[in-house]
Structure 1
Amino acid sequence: MHVGDIFTDRAGLPDLPDLPDRRLLDTSLVHRREGGHRLPALVWDAGPGWRMLSSGVLGGGLGSRSYVVNAQVPGGYRRTDPRDHLAEIARAAGLRGHGVGLMTAADVTNAAFAADGGVEAVATVGIGRPTWAAAPSDLDEARLGHARAAGGTESIRPGTINIIVAVPVPLSDAALVNALSTATEAKVQAVMEAGFACTGTASDAICLAVRSETGTEPPASFGGPRSRWGARIARAVHAAVRTGALRDARRTTTARGL
């Protein structure tokens, strides 16, 4: 199965107003036809001058990256080549160079945006399967793989929280790792405040983008929750994820007719 027509109208997200604080994450939506579905992807065509640390299946790890694509897929997604699939979506959307690709069954048109002191964050939130990070071993990856092979439903509806963060200054490698931990802590705080008894979902992913070093200023050395940039990252991620989680809770309540 290949990506069909891409609608590259680059429409802005209806719920992401053109706020004065929104200077870095100039995200847009593209749509594609695939397997009988019309599916959106959230795209940030960042351009040069960025280092990104990501857990994404495409472009994961640490390196220079020029774009991020957060692609929505059907809830019963079963392709075994997600890296190639994301690269295909990125090419079809006109993205070039090395980038990061994330995937979710959550509705990316409901992305939530927040900013704090120059840091910007956007989150797509679906918590259909709330998960504690430390859980009994019968819920581990091997068991889920067995369920998939047996035609079970363990992996059919994976709620996912995908987070993209942009920081307007360079961070050292150590500060980047620290900041990623800070962002994850903020995510957990947000979902719990929104009423979910979990640390997230089993398929959550994140991309933390910082400016590349130019030699004109030293990179920030710290990314913890009480450092200058870590605190801003925490507040932006917390606000975006909390907004998205509350929306997800309302959708769940409405779907159940409560």
Structure 2
Amino acid sequence: MTPFRVILLPGSVLPAGPAYGRLLEALGTGVDAVAKDLELYADDSPPADWTLDTEGDAVLREADARGWDSFHLVGYSGGGSASLALTAAHPERLRSLALLEPAWAGTWDWSPEHAELWKKYDQLNGLPPGAFMAAFMRLGVRDDVVLPPPPPGPPPPWMARRPAGIGAFLKAFKSYNLDRSRLAGFDRPVLFILGGKSNPDDYADNAARLSRVFPDFRLEVFPDRHHFDPPHRIEPERVAALLQEHWARAEGSPGP
């Protein structure tokens, strides 16, 4: 059997290696997967002309370099938003789409609560890095979730780039035109994985809106997880099984 060809995009905080290491181990053989770092962090500061399409174009270059005419795409958080943009722009390249709590999913049909949440994201602009990251994480989870303190010791060098990178995502979300009609024409399987303790005004709202757009949409909820202890890192075996089933269905073969 030909291995599933998969590209995985991380979110705006962890690099691809630590973000997906445990999931790649759980997927094991039968998957030809590349966890691709974001172009956003290729240099010390975000490129001035960076958009969600910058990430999508880089994914296609990666696929082309591997000789892949089509592939399965997995995206978490900001990488999930970039994955949606790529799906709208080049649906013919994707065999399936898996969304792990995309940070943003277009500007249509926002609930009042979702709109109020994005006003709070706007208020992050100008905060010093430490306060920015703390406030950013707080907005991603339910009010009753207790977030852990930062790990002891100095932060890894890549962490210094994260506030500016997250800011670039937030800026892009304001101006990017995610084409709903193009997404509605994507007839391949779409899997959305959601943490039950994530902010429901954000990620659950995205899931509900996308469920009304994609013709082949499946939602899987992990009740005890949230955006910063996501299922693909904390319960990689279950996520791997869901992805294997998802990809097998897209390929037209029975799951493992």
Q: TM-score, normalised by structure 1?
A: 0.30
Q: Which has the higher strand share?
A: 1
Q: TM-score, normalised by structure 2?
A: 0.30
The structure whose RCO (Cα within 8 Å, separation 6+) is larger is 2
